[in-house]
Amino acid sequence: MERIPILKLGNVLLVTIQVDMHDELASALEEDLTQRIVAVGARGVLIDISALEIVDSFMGRMLDNIASVSRILDADTVVVGMRPAVAITLVELGLSLHGVKTALNVDKGLALIATSARHAWRGAGDEDDDGSD
């Protein structure tokens, strides 16, 4: 059975979606991701969808599911590489991916996860921001 590989970049997990998702593959991915988040103590999950020319409601729900489960396990989910046409389709489908953060590419996604991890560490009430990386 085929599985989508999950790559580990420090404390971030990276998944590249290249194939059409069907039920079985999607649930295998969600299960694998959940286990890896716990196993490596991941702070974030990056999902690259730059290979996808269309995203249907099934894929939209899958992204939402992954984000919800990750959040419960204290990991941020960032979807990266979304094509403009895909963004338009998602909104037209009424899927605005409220629980999912997005970034233009992997580098920006990693930066986003690093930033929110730092903020979480400092505590929600702490507004101090020295801007140094």
What does the binding site for its own copies look like in residue numbers (CB under 8 A)? 2-5, 7-10, 14, 16, 18-19, 48, 50-51, 81, 105-107, 110
Helices 23-40 and 57-72, packing angle to 10 deg:
20
Q: Which is nearer to its own copies, 28 or 71 (CB)?
A: 28
Q: Which is nearer to its own copies, 50 or 99 (CB)?
A: 50
What one-letter code names the amino acid at 62?
M
Tell me how far the alpha carbon of residue 59 is from its chain's centroid: 13
Listed in sequence order, the residues at least 6 apart from 53 whose beta carbon sits closer than 8 Å to its beta carbon are: 83, 85, 86
Q: Which is nearer to its own copies, 4 or 87 (CB)?
A: 4
Tokens (6 digits) for 93: 């489908």
- Least CB distance from residue 129 to its own copies, whole Å? 23
- Least CB distance from residue 35 to its own copies, whole Å? 15
- Least CB distance from residue 125 to its own copies, whole Å? 33
CB of 15 within 8 A of CB of 47? yes
Q: Which is nearer to its own copies, 14 or 95 (CB)?
A: 14
